[in-house]
Amino acid sequence: MVDPAPTFSEKIFDRNELPKGAVMFMEGFENDTTEKDIKEALFEKFYVKDEDFALIEKGETCGYVRFHEENAAIELVAKMNENLGTSKKLKIKGAEIDFRVLEGNEETAYLSHTLIVLKMSKNKKRGFGEAFGLG
């Protein structure tokens, strides 16, 4: 019997890192904008598929979109800038959305925090020490 391919989460824990160039920060949302609204806008305008997203973490008027693949956010932002022309604004539910790829220290801090959160949530399924490589 063949073992199934490792899942995205299993790959993360094996390497102990998240892909770089894969997080986009967006701001300017209306308070009632949902994750579904963001996904639909990115799909309709840029053909980003639902399975490409690892997470959309939205606060009230801003949020982070994290993708599974390395450099996916960099490639998407380049495509968005090219297609949006001089306005460089994405519209979601009538609001003009600013967007950018996380880079440098900001990206490192976000990815470190996210990895810790992912490991902590995995702790609910297995022992604390094992999740952090201590067991």
Domains of the chain plus CATH, in order, are 22-105 (3.30.70.330)
pTM recorded for the entire structure = 0.76
Per-residue pLDDT of the chain (135 residues; tens, 9 = 90+): 555 555 555 555 556 788 999 999 999 999 888 888 998 999 988 888 877 786 777 777 898 999 989 999 999 999 999 988 777 789 999 999 999 999 999 999 999 998 888 888 776 665 545 555 554
DSSP SS3 for 63 = strand
Q: Take residue 44 and report the two structure tokens written for it.
A: 């309709």
Q: Say how many C-beta atoms besides its own lie within 10 A of residue 115's C-beta.
A: 15
Q: What's the confidence (pLDDT) of residue 28?
A: 93
